[in-house]
Amino acid sequence: MRVAIFLNGECEDLASIPLDQYDLLIAVDGGAKHFLRKHLIPHLFIGDGDSVDESDLDELKVLGCEMFIFPKEKDEIDAELALRKAIEKGASEVDIFCWNGERLDMLLALMYLMAAFNVKITAKSDKLFMGIVSGEIELDAKPGEKWSILPIAGDAYGVTLKGFKYEISRKDMLWNSPYGVSNVSVSQKVKVTVERGKVAYFRWLKEPS
């Protein structure tokens, strides 16, 4: 099952996102505003309500959105609650939208969460895709795109990169030696393999400034 999660960050027009390709749409707290502005209804709302108006919550209820409202004082961030609910519902693949913003601490927390679950999770925007690799994955690419591959949640061992300008074979990537920054794809597909540990990939669809 494919699930799309919408956070409370910067977001492109929902019309540019193929919502019909997802089995479940989850609005996370202020992420509900992205739907309400376009008169769309997510299947689920998850959050503590600290970044959405009470009137918006009432509107979601009236429109038939399933509501999961949590206390403001809790150990989990709303994104974690949404990921756990998506997996509980049977998600095999999760795409996260509207995640970018000024809160670099929240972005780092999101990446840790993406590495914590054993399902395919991708954070997507019109400029950048981010994901986690444990094992092997083949990813779409375009020649000339900028990519970075970095270890996450510790060291990564036996890393192989194919389809890049700078290819490596079964090399270790240590957390304090980030040599995988600013690689370049040279084909329509790239392959990332990790024998032990995990890496995060960053695919820049648009050249960063």
Arithmetic mean of pLDDT, 2-21: 92
The strands making up 136-140's β-sheet, listed across from edge to edge, are 136-140, 189-196, 156-162, 168-173
pLDDT in tens, 192-201: 999 999 999 9
Q: Give tens-digit pLDDT for 63-101.
A: 999 999 999 899 999 999 999 999 999 999 999 999 999
CATH 3.40.50.10240 domain residues, the chain: 2-126
Q: Does domain 133-204 have CATH number 3.30.1540.10?
A: no
Residue 179 has pLDDT above 90, yes or no: yes
Closest C-alpha among 92, 91, 86, 109 to residue 9? 109
The whole-number average pLDDT for the span 45-50 is: 94
pLDDT-above-70 percentage for the chain: 100
Of the pLDDT bands very low, low, confident and very high (cuts 50, 70, 90), residue 34 is: very high
Dihedral Cα 13, 141, 110, 101, nearest 10 deg: -40
The pLDDT of residue 209 is above 80: no
Rounded Cα gap, residues 90 and 39, in angstroms: 27
The CATH 2.60.120.320 domain(s) of the chain lie at 133-204
- Confidence class for position 144, pLDDT limits 50, 70, 90: very high
H or E element that contains 110: helix 104-116
Residue 27 and residue 6 in contact, taking contact as beta carbons nearer than 8 Å: yes
Superfamily grouping for domain 2-126: Thiamin pyrophosphokinase, catalytic domain (3.40.50.10240)
**What pLDDT is stored for residue 13 in this prediction?**
84
Is a pLDDT exceeding 90 seen at residue 183? yes
